[in-house]
Structure 1
Amino acid sequence: MATDHYFYVLHCKDNTFYGGYTTDPKRRLKEHNNGTGAKYTRILSRLPVKMIHIEKFATRSEATKAEYAFKKLPRQMKENYLNKAKANEANN
């Protein structure tokens, strides 16, 4: 059975973004909001978080490369990336 690999972006309560990798977005969102996800999202001022972007990839390598590239972007470029993805989604 093939496993899907996802790069996702969370919008945190403190208005920051968190990018991550998972094979199960619903489970991962639950973990973040329960305080058992990434160290970054365990800080109470960042909770709750909302999943605002998900991209599916065929391999773990592709998904983690997308995550790494996103995390390196400055805030404005992250916003541009998310807005462009949202616009593309609306057009499809």
Structure 2
Amino acid sequence: MRSFAAIMTQRHGHRLGEWLTRAEEADLPGINRFVNGVTCDLEAVAAGLSLPFNSGPVEGNVNRIKMLKRQMYGRAGFDLLRKRVLLNH
């Protein structure tokens, strides 16, 4: 099942169908649940494993804002939180 790691890291989404077939034949309980989940949205998963786009920058911003919100919890109102979000980038 290590071949899935190669599909992910080398962006070989076109090989996903072949991997799913082999994984189903292996008949491992945890892998079967994973295969069922991937099969539900196969086109999106294949695109995610093929295309060079990612949401890393957006997720980084979301994490930064959540961290600031946690730091400010109970200390100040929305105005101060807004200033920190806008000024700390």
TM-score by length of 2: 0.29
* Structure with more of its chain in helix, by fraction: 2
Larger Rg belongs to: 2
Which structure has more RCO (C-alpha within 8 Å, separation ≥ 6)?
Answer: 1
